[in-house]
């Protein structure tokens, strides 16, 4: 019996045996779930998830989590994201992006780069952002996008959520299109920014292009081409050989994928961690209540712990 591709990768990089994080460069068109399915088929393993959904019209960094890496998805999703975006002024769509149906139009005033930059600076910081009608946010127990597709859009008032934008940099303005570079926190909707910035400029608009460049410390520059993953999933042997080489290079061990401060576990801790028991905090660690730590043994990530008084309470266990 031939080994699965996942096992072949582990044979070349044993540190990946407990799972890994895989950055891919998602092309425009497929959904984030499509990319997960490509990885499942190409690797021969079902335990694959993703961190931070990218809409079909968007491209760029999508972080896949393989095997035990799926346990880290909630933490990877929390990381700040960097995007490159283009907003088209003059037309608003129901989805707030190019895939939607136009619902209103407005003249575009004469704008200069300095004015747009001054207005865009109002969206830097922490504020309440109204979520798009076509989103997965739930209202009355149902996802907004489902209610909208049932023709109930006029009955729905999308909620506003607190978000943070660390930077909103206007890098270009041409023919009613604004090019931006954004550094934003978890839960930020670039589609909502397209609507709000256009309104603040005296017109309407929608998101025309979106590309994710970075999540936390992981950059799209280190990602593998998503189309290569798709071709390998289709069973093309030559694609698998190219993909295998790319995977061995790009796959990130779990201990490096997580950004929490690291604690090396003595051998006596391993059994306690496997049983989910609280751990004594080493004297060398200045414990901050609520702070989370990555617990390692050598290079293997054993778990995620949170400071709770004088102990580390285990939030995630990754060892057997």
Per-residue CA distances from 211 to 8, 59, 60, 270, 300 (Å): 32, 5, 5, 41, 32
Q: What is the DSSP letter of 236?
A: -
- For 103, the token pair is 């619902």
Tracing tokens 């995977």 back to the chain, one arrives at 247
Alpha-carbon gap, residue 126 to 305, rounded angstroms: 28
- Three-class HEC string of 55-97: CCCCEEEEEEEEEHHHHHHHHHHCCCEEEEEEEEECEEECCCE
Alpha-carbon gap, residue 57 to 60, rounded angstroms: 10
Alpha-carbon gap, residue 302 to 315, rounded angstroms: 11
- Nearest of 69, 68, 66, 58 to residue 31 by alpha carbon: 58
Alpha-carbon gap, residue 266 to 298, rounded angstroms: 9
- Residues 6 or more apart whose Cβ sits within 8 Å of residue 114: none
The question of whether 55 is a catalytic residue gets the answer yes
Pick the catalytic residue: 55, 97, 183, 196?
55
Helices (H), 139-224: 144-149, 190-200
Decide: 144 and 211 in contact? Cβ < 8 Å. no
DSSP SS3 for 320: coil
Active site residues: 55
């Amino acid at each position: 019996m031939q080994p699965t591709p996942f096992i072949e990768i582990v044979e070349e990089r044993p540190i990946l045996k407990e799972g890994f994080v895989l950055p891919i460069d998602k092309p425009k068109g497929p959904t984030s779930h499509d990319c997960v399915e490509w990885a499942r088929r190409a690797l021969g393993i079902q335990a694959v998830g993703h961190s931070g959904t990218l809409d079909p019209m968007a491209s760029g960094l999508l972080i896949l989590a393989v095997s035990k890496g799926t346990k880290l998805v909630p933490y990877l999703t929390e990381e700040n994201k960097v995007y490159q975006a283009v907003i088209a002024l003059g037309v608003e769509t129901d989805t707030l992006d190019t895939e939607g149906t136009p619902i209103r139009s407005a003249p575009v005033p004469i704008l200069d780069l300095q004015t747009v930059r001054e207005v865009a600076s109002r969206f830097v910081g922490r504020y309440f952002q109204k979520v798009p009608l076509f989103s997965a946010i739930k209202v009355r127990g149902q996802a907004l996008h489902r209610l909208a597709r049932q023709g109930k859009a006029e009955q729905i008032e999308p909620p506003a959520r607190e978000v943070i934008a660390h930077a909103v940099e206007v890098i270009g303005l041409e023919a009613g299109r604004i090019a931006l570079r954004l550094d934003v926190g978890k839960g930020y909707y670039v589609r909502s920014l397209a609507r709000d910035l256009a309104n603040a400029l005296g017109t309407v608009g929608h998101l025309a292009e979106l590309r994710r460049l970075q999540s936390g410390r992981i950059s799209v520059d280190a990602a593998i081409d998503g189309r290569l993953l798709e071709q390998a999933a289709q069973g093309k042997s030559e694609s698998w050989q190219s993909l295998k080489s790319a995977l061995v290079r790009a796959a990130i061990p779990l201990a490096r994928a997580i950004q929490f401060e690291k604690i090396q576990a003595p051998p006596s801790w391993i059994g306690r961690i496997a049983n989910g028991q609280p751990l004594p905090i080493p004297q060398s660690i200045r414990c901050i209540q609520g702070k989370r730590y990555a617990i390692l043994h050598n290079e293997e990530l054993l778990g995620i712990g949170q400071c709770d008084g004088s102990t580390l309470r285990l939030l995630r266990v990754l060892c057997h």
